[in-house]
Amino acid sequence: MKKTLLYIALACAAGPCVQSCMDFDEPGDELGANEVVTDHEVYQNRADSLKYRVNITPEGALAAFDSLSTQLQQCKTGIYGMRGGKDGGVPEAHSYQFQYNLETDAYAGYLTVSHKDYPYSNATQISTYNYCEQFNAGPLGGYGTAKNAFAPFINNPKADSIPEVKAIYLLYYSLIAQECADLSGPFTYTEDKNNSQDPTTYEPLSDIYPAIVENIDSVLACLHYYENRSPEYKQVLNDYFLSMNEADNLVYADTKDMTNYIRLANSLKLRMAMHIVKVKPDLARKWAEEAVKDGVVEKVAQQQGIFPSVIGFTHPLVEIANSWNDTRLCASFESLLMSLDHPYTKYLFKKNGNPIPDPTTGVTIPTDSMIVGIRAGVRVGTGQSYAGNTQLAYSSISAEAISSSPLYFISLAEVNFLRAEGALRGWQMGGEAEHFYNEGIRYSYIEDPTYLDMGFYAKGQNFNDYVEDYMKRTEPVAYVQHDPLGQGPDWPSLTKIGVAWNGNDSPEIKLEKIITQKYIALFPNSQEAWTELRRTGYPKLFPVLNPADGDGSLNQGDLIRRIPWASTDPQQQEYIKQTGIPALGDKEDLQATRLWWDVEGDNF
């Protein structure tokens, strides 16, 4: 049966890279386009040079692929690294845990730590908001891996002979740079992009964001120009790059042009537009309308990411949650899902895996009785065994449901919710907010879409069995979150909205519905979910307990607004002092410091 899902076949090197570039159409470009450079020097300051209007011969492209084969293979490590790859391999539990699970999963309110001791890391994480220097660099690890892999390639002059490939790697670098920017804020963006061996200058997000979008626009110009290439040149690119994702004898949607890369670039531009809507509303609208007009992700087959079912691995959360017992469902996410009677409550999160003695009632809750999460900020016990740590009985993630879940770069569901919010704001999004909202929900499943389409998931154990009824819910279910271990009083749900779209709702209620459903759809991409939570204040989550476990800047119930740099290296500390703090707006390097786009005030 023909599969309709576009996969990026990472086994062969088609993937991410540094951002992009200006079109140089100068006399003499044609002479240098096919030059072969044989030395091994470090190339710098060429990332923004996309010489796509030159006449490149098939022979020149072939020579470039041959001479850059090692670097193209190295770029695979960057692709994997974007979503938890380690040492050139596919995403795996150790790296994914540091990149997502120990910090941003908790900051977004998805999952929590379930024990405090991490002896292999020589670290202790006593609660979800515990300030732990050993783990602070983890979320930035994906960016570092990708940057180190892509920057040498996009700065190599030989890449000018395959400008579309360079543009694609610049595009993926733009994506990981955007994600990096939203974690701690300013970083050495330009120097990193240009392959500096000693970056020192942190740049403000107010400069980084427009620079990334400028690069995206250059990437788009290059990829659109591909239609002007000769059939012979296109054949070389197909043979050596575009068809690489047909490995393992799988059939994909047509990938023999640049269409899906163009759609990814525009979808990233649309995401970034929405991030800045409260600080630069006019610019946000401009970016968003340009992106939609040029074409964003609109079909399942246009999504890109890292796909366990293609490459042959298991989603890292399976091992983190079920083998190591290092993470459990957060009570805030539990309450939200249960209040909406979301399909995930039927099959994604498991009920308690062991008996839980309830000191408030004196009754022991039997195994497999309830979905129950650990409250964010609760101080967790010691050990990875239920015998010594009863909190491990709380809800884990179903391995069957998540094992083949794609690790998207930008999903179709996210794009639909972005368009829904844009339409709500009166922007030209190609349709009405209600339409995109409903489409966003329909494509919000965590399952591998090809497997879902082919009926591989059991009846009652997949999203499509429940989604249509779910979308009709007009009011939330009355729900009270109860902690069986008595770590605080019962908490009534903060979710007061239903699911069904209501044209009579206020704009703020409509936005809350859009972001709430988007937040659920993003799971487990906690970095983007955390960004949306900070930007809009939605969904409404329980206050985080024990803020004193942080760096001292948080008050009771506060969200962490950023991950501090907090470098222990004296030289890096000096760079942070000289350029990082000024780029942060002369604010302190703290968890409570808001980023440029994270401004207080109304959403409209």
Q: What pLDDT score does 255 carry?
A: 59
Given the DSSP bridges, would you call strands 22-23 and 49-50 parallel, antiparallel or unpaired?
parallel
Give me 184's structure tokens. Answer: 């701690």
Distance between CA atoms of residues 468 and 465, nearest Å: 8
Which has more confidence, 311 or 274? 274
Cα distance between residue 422 and residue 432, in whole Å: 9
Nearest to 535 by CA among 417, 410, 377: 417
Query: How confident is residue 56, by pLDDT bands cut at 50, 70 and 90?
Result: very high
Residue 593: pLDDT band by 50, 70, 90 thresholds?
A: very high
* Three-class SS state of 580: helix
Tell me what pLDDT residue 347 has. Answer: 97
Strands 407-410 and 480-481: unpaired
Per residue in 141-200, pLDDT (tens digit) is 999 999 999 999 999 999 999 999 999 999 999 999 999 999 999 999 999 999 999 999
How confident is the model over 249-293, as pLDDT tens digits?
233 344 568 999 999 999 999 999 999 999 999 999 999 999 999
| Interval 470-482: pLDDT, tens | 999 999 999 999 9
* Average pLDDT, integer, range 433-455: 96
Q: Can you give the C-alpha Rg of the chain in angstroms?
A: 24
pLDDT at 76: 82
The pLDDT of residue 123 is above 60: yes
Q: Do residues 261 and 294 touch, judged by C-beta distance below 8 A?
A: no
Residue 5 has pLDDT above 90, yes or no: no
For residues 287-312, average pLDDT: 94
Write down the mean pLDDT value for the chain: 90
pLDDT at 493 over 60: yes
Give per-residue pLDDT as tens, 322-346: 999 999 999 999 999 999 999 999 9
Three-state DSSP state, 409: strand
**Residue 23 pLDDT > 70:** no
Whether 25 has a pLDDT exceeding 90, the answer reads no
Q: Is the pLDDT of residue 21 over 50?
A: no
429 pLDDT above the threshold of 70: yes
Taking a C-beta distance cutoff of 8 angstroms, is the pair 375, 109 a contact?
A: no
Give the pLDDT of residue 242.
Answer: 79
Q: Is residue 204 very low, low, confident or very high in pLDDT (cuts 50, 70, 90)?
A: very high
* Alpha-carbon span 330 to 351, nearest angstrom: 13
Looking at residue 243, its pLDDT comes to 67
Q: CB-based contacts of 369: which residues, under 8 Å, 6+ apart?
A: 351, 352
- For the entire predicted model, the pTM comes to 0.93
3-class state of residue 462 by DSSP: coil
Could you state, in order of their start, the residue ranges of all structural domains in the chain? 10-127+139-311
**Interior CA angle at 413 toward 180 and 249, to 5°?**
90
Is pLDDT of 12 > 80? no
**Taking the C-alpha atoms of 292, 296, 299 and 303 in order, what is their torsion angle to the nearest 10 degrees?**
-160
Give the per-residue pLDDT at 266. Answer: 98
Any idea which of 12-21, 162-171, 421-430, 579-588 has the lowest mean pLDDT? 12-21
Q: Which residues contact 8 (CB under 8 A, 6 or more apart)?
A: 14, 15, 79, 245, 304, 305, 306, 307
Which bin fits 22, alpha (ψ -120 to 50), beta or left (φ > 0)?
beta
Distance from C-alpha of 264 to C-alpha of 168, rounded to nearest angstrom: 10
Measured in degrees and rounded to the nearest 5, phi and psi for residue 134 equal -65, -25
> Quick one: pLDDT at residue 120?
85
CA–CA separation, 540 and 573 (whole Å): 36
DSSP H/E element including 604: none
Cβ neighbors of 193 (< 8 A, separation 6 or more) are: 18, 19, 47, 48, 151, 154, 173, 177
Mean pLDDT of 547-564: 94
Does 245 score more than 90 pLDDT? no
Chain-centroid distance of CA 227 in Å reads 31
| Per-residue model confidence (pLDDT) at position 34 | 40
- The 3-state secondary structure of 290-339 reads HHHHHCCCCCHHHCEEECHHHHCCCCHHHHHHHHCCCEEEEHHHHHHHHH
What pLDDT does 244 receive?
59
